[in-house]
Structure 1
Amino acid sequence: MTTDNLLRPHAEQLFAAELDALAVADTGTRPPSWNLSPSAVVTYLIGGTLDDGTEITPKYIGPRRLMEIAVATLATDRALLLLGVPGTAKTWVSEHLAAAISGTSTLLVQGTAGTPEEAIRYGWNYARLISEGPSRDALVPSPVMTAMGEGRIARIEELTRIPSDVQDALITVLSEKTLPIPELAAEVQAAKGFSVIATANDRDRGVNDLSSALRRRFNTVVLPLPATAEEEVEIVTSRVAALGKSLELPELPTAAEEIRRVVTVFRELRSGVTEDGRAKVKQPSGTLSTAEAISVITHGIVMAAHFGDGTLRPADVAAGIHGAVVKDPSSDSVVWTEYLEGVVRDRTDWADFYRAARGALR
């Protein structure tokens, strides 16, 4: 299946041409088992123009230094923990780091409250285990175990969602670079190039704190929310364009005005103060992340293309933004109504948005 037929290609599939061009032009020193040098990996993430004119699109819009620290961590013997509130591109950065360094981002453990220890260590093919007894052929390696043997990057999403006793299965892997298999009186030793990228946030409900022993095994990089409205608008615009292409959405006239408006609403409610700093506003229970802003605009484009006049208008985003803000109807509805009446209504150039948003409340 070609990437054109995939709803969501992996980073190494979608940006294969860029990765190939970087590999050809890369003159830096590559750590063992790395596909690119650290400086080339940062270029892949931040974007740039190669000597042959190849344009490398930005994958992360934010401080370059954070990406340099993250890449440098993976070139050492320490694992990397990407920490931040939801919607700060932790998963996105994790995937692209693994794709650029190892050529694959698919050695992934998705953390949940039900993630078992086998997902980090190994499991068994019980049919073979019963018929043959413990053997290498009966063993089912985890993504972490596979990454250790091949010298690649393993990814663990939502590490703080995983129960604490399961988290601690990583301690020996990260400190000793070995995974014991006592049933076979054997072990897997990590090949050069192996590392772990974990993502976590401490804002959502239902998270499990990392033990101090495990946290010491990681170098933590905190990914912040976009520093300025312009930066956030750029992120939303680029991601909406990429999603629209992937989903084969109809092309619409410029959506810049509505993107700016959604970003402004999210930033004001997130910070608790209006853009001009003159008025305080109540904050809703949700995080109102950049990822949610991207979702609101993408949904609005679909509404405009299929049920509107082909131009993205306030009515097309009103329902989506209402759903993003009002997570808890009992408290967030009051916050949203007060924001509309106390802030939005007084902005003369937002009259159409005010009417659409009020209509969505009914």
Structure 2
Amino acid sequence: MTTPTPEVLRGHAEHVYAHELSALAAHDAHPRPPMWKLSPRAVLTYLLGGRLPDGTEISPKYVGERRLMEVAVATLATDRALLLIGVPGTAKSWVSEHLAAAISGDSTLLVQGTAGTDEGAIRYGWNYARLLAEGLSEGALVESPVMFAMREGKIARIEELTRVQSDVQDALITVLSEKTLPIPELRTEVQAVRGFNIIATANNRDKGVNELSSALKRRFNTVVLPVPDSLEDELSIVTRRVEQLGRSLGLPAVPPALEEVRRVVTVFRELRAGLTEDGKTKLKSPSGSLSTAEAISVVNQGLTLSVHFGDGTLRARDVASSLVGAVIKDPVQDRAVWNEYLEIAIKKRDGWKEFYAACREES
């Protein structure tokens, strides 16, 4: 008996959106840089969405200023690497993944930056069993994602670069400036094939943790990804991602109540800005980032509660518990900020009575 292949929880972008990438490639008549799967114009359409001549709909992967994505795509067509910077939840990793998928057809060449990331994760390491058995040889060499990308002419991704120790960061300087990765133990080197580049991401809130050296900064072109400009933009992002996550988790296809989602997004935006949407009331901000990604998580959790323990309709009580948990990170300071916000901004707001009561109960 054949065992069915289990579905992965989250597929890579090049697999999930394979039909869009294939359709774009079929209609792409613009020049492509060496080793690129799509032209820069087609990559931009993939990111921002659109309709192809045959009627194929390309879903938007990024909602925001077009020029930022134009600069990001154009950077990767040059010899400069791309650094995406922004506060948590501004889609840095999401944009990075989709850029790599559209350009190289492979978003998996990833180095996850942490305080424990060593130089081998960026350069190369050794298979010590083979090293002992065979001595120094190419067979004992373990390629990093960066080295593999250099050999194949692909995009490598480095997440949270400023969390990596400074001496490890500096391993990138030769790679980015000389497009070469020396292997002194074997008296050889790997030279980058055309098409190779690096996309790194960094968190604004990590400023000062492990600052990039001026030498490394010069090798990157920096694009700052802002929080969504308007409530409608952020609402669109949250709604679309919640629908995608619902499908991947196998939730029944019940549309989320748009008004409840709007309330969650409004709360996040107001507390993040320290000001109500109408600009009339100043607010204290909690210690957390209250990112768009967290708003997606709150709505997704609420929708899961409504499906499994309710009638499938997203209600205030379904989102209240996750919302309160997202806001209150510091049990003393943030709780005071949240309670004050409920009283001065939410309590008397038309149509928010049920929402206020549910949040009060959870608080």
Report the TM-score when normalising by structure 1: 0.98
User: Is 1:28 the counterpart of 2:30 in the alignment?
Assistant: yes
Partner SS, residue 198 of structure 1? strand
Q: Could you tell me how far apart the structure 1 residues matched to 2:8 and 2:77 are? A: 32
Aligned to 1:261: 263
Name the counterpart of 1:133: 135
Q: CA deviation at 1:155?
A: 0.2
**Counterpart of 1:349?**
351
**Structure 1 residue 104 corresponds to structure 2 residue 99:** no
**Deviation of 1:132 (Å):** 1.1
Partner of 2:95: 93
Shift of 1:131: 1.5
Query: Aligned to 2:78, which of 76, 79, 94?
Result: 76
Per-residue CA distance 1:211-260 (angstroms, 9 max, x = gap): 11111100000001000000000000111111111111123354100110
Q: For 2:279, give the aligned amino acid.
A: G
Instruction: Quote the offset at 1:329 in angstroms.
Output: 1.1
**Aligned 8 A contact 2:256 2:303 in 1:** no
Q: Match of 1:299, as an amino acid? A: Q
Amino acid at match of 2:205: R
Which of 296, 310, 325 lines up with 2:298 in the alignment? 296
Note if contact 1:3-1:14 (Cα within 8 Å) is conserved in structure 2: no
The aligned counterpart of 2:149 is 147
Comparing 263-272 with 206-215, greater Cα deviation is found at: 206-215
1:223 — aligned with what? 225
Q: Distance in 1 between matches of 2:284 and 2:304?
A: 30
Question: Does the 8 A contact of 1:3 with 1:9 survive in 2?
Answer: no
Match for 1:360 among 353, 359, 362? 362
- Return the alpha-carbon distance in structure 1 between the equivalents of residues 347 and 268 of structure 2: 16
1:254 and 1:5 map into 2 onto residues whose CA distance is 24
Match of residue 251, structure 1, among 242, 250, 253: 253
Q: Structure 1 residue 201: deviation in Å? A: 1.0
Once the two structures are TM-superposed, the CA of residue 330 in structure 1 deviates from its matched residue by 1.9
Whole-angstrom distance in 1 between the partners of 2:4 and 2:296: 26
Query: TM-score, normalised to structure 2's length?
Result: 0.97
What one-letter code is carried by the residue in structure 2 that aligns with 1:353? F
Report how far residue 348 of structure 1 moved.
3.1
Verify the 8 A CA contact 1:252 1:312 in the aligned structure 2: no
**Where in structure 1 are there 5+ consecutive unaligned residues?**
none
Residue 311 of structure 1 corresponds to: 313
**Mapped partners of 1:14, 1:138: distance in 2:** 35
Identity in percent: 69
Aligned with 2:13 (options 11, 14, 27) = 11
Over the aligned positions, Cα root-mean-square deviation in angstroms equals 1.4
Contact 1:300 1:317 in 2 (8 A): yes
* Counterpart for residue 118 of structure 1: 120
Alignment match of 2:273 (pick from 252, 271, 274)? 271
| Residue of structure 2 in register with 1:280 after alignment | 282
Q: 1:206, CA displacement in angstroms? A: 7.8
Secondary structure at the aligned position of 1:282 is classed as: coil
1:289/1:97 CA distance change after superposition, 3 Å: same
1:52 is displaced (CA, Å) by 1.0
1:169 equivalenced with 2:148 (yes/no): no
Aligned mates of 1:348, 1:54 — CA distance in 2:
42
